[in-house]
Amino acid sequence: MTLSNQPLVEGHKSPTFCGEINEARGPLKIYIQSITAATDLNIQQLERLSGGAIQENWLLVVEIIGGPYDGTQRWVLRTDALSSVPVSLSRAQEFAVLRVAHQAGVKAPKVLWCCEDKSIIGRDFFLMECVSGVAAGHRVTGDDALVPDRPALAAELGANMARLHTIHPPNADLAFLPPPVAHPALASVAAYRGYLDTLNASAPVLEWGLRWCERNSPAAAPVCLLHRDYRTGNYMVHEGKLSGLLDWEFTGWGDPHEDIGWFAARCWRFAAPQREAGGIGDIDDFLRGYASVSDLTITRDDLIFWQVMAHLRWAIIALQQADRHLSGQQTSLELALTGRMLPELEYEILSLTRGGNE
């Protein structure tokens, strides 16, 4: 998380934005034919997938004739959306992170090619293999038919996160990431306070939460690579199992507890708030899976601080989103409704900190 006081989310429109990517089928066809060494190809489907407020994902079904990729291929084209996030990675950086994570055994889409030539579709993009499954949080937490063995999936999610956390600095392939800070927890508190101070809003509960985190900051764990948005809604479930972790644009170095606290935060449990492991299952099953890969011992009590931090982070984002709508910068019902989530987040912050120091 950057210490910049820029908003976590802000709107912009790229001067090279070419509208619907479907308008760029011709240049895209030429590009794919070149990188696949195909004698010919036909783009059978180019359809924007749901989700992706910060980046866009497009399903790309291509019939390739000749070359090593001969046959019908299902890929995903990932590119910038109209909203940008100052702390977000570029597509080339996200491509590099995904490649490193995949090599470490993390279940994530396999990346194929990255293109920074804006003459193709007007924006940087990369292509990756299409991962099967369902990501919608309300479905995977509410439909037992999709997840018949919840303890097993919770453990699998824990093990997958632990594999990500085996990646430590320095790493030559990730040299573009900001260097790790000495105390990630206090650095995050300072960053969140900086964001809050830029908003014209009275938020005494958030100030309380930030002060509580300052007073109850834990000792730092060994720094590792974090996803920073590892939560239900950002991974695919296929036949009851984890098929791939998505949306890597916030990746950076930090304390491993941060990822776990974000995953376990009540605000990401969707249809099953009683299930602490992302609405999927019991947190003990998740931690069991994590311990099957990692030597780091983590308890429920260790997560309280980082769950408070998670709700503070999401609450500040909600305030920023509401401010964008109310200021007229970007009129949007979605932004307005996000701002209405604040009381629920504040309640959870107070609930989690009631037994702590001031």
DSSP element (H, E) containing 20: none
H helical segments located in the chain: 25-36, 91-103, 137-142, 150-164, 184-197, 204-215, 256-264, 283-291, 300-326, 333-339, 342-353
Q: Which fold has domain 137-353?
A: Aminoglycoside 3'-phosphotransferase; Chain: A, domain 2 (3.90.1200)
CB count in 10 Å sphere of residue 144 = 10
Q: What is the pLDDT of residue 260?
A: 98
In DSSP terms, 129 is beta-bridged to 75
Which pTM does this prediction carry?
Answer: 0.90
**CB contact set of 343 (below 8 Å; sequence gap of 6+):** none
Q: pLDDT digits over 262-286, tens only?
A: 999 999 999 999 999 999 999 999 9
What is the average per-residue pLDDT within 256-260?
Answer: 97
CATH 3.30.200.20 residue window(s) in the chain? 10-129
**Phi, psi of 233, deg, nearest 5:** 110, -20
Q: Which fold has domain 10-129?
A: Phosphorylase Kinase; domain 1 (3.30.200)
Tell which phi-psi region holds residue 27, choosing left (phi > 0), alpha (psi between -120 and 50) or beta. Answer: alpha
pLDDT surpassing 90 at residue 92: yes
Q: What is the pLDDT of residue 330?
A: 73
CATH 3.90.1200.10 residue window(s) in the chain? 137-353
What is the average per-residue pLDDT within 235-244?
Answer: 98
Q: What is the pLDDT of residue 14?
A: 36
Q: What is the pLDDT of residue 52?
A: 55
Distance of alpha carbon 124 from alpha carbon 34, whole angstroms = 17
pLDDT surpassing 80 at residue 191: yes
Q: pLDDT digits over 25-83, tens only?
A: 999 999 999 999 999 999 999 999 976 556 899 999 999 999 999 999 999 999 987 55
pLDDT-based confidence at residue 176 (cuts at 50, 70, 90): very high
Q: pLDDT digits over 293-308, tens only?
A: 999 999 999 999 999 9
Q: pLDDT digits over 98-156, tens only?
A: 999 999 999 999 999 999 999 999 999 999 999 999 999 999 999 999 999 999 999 99
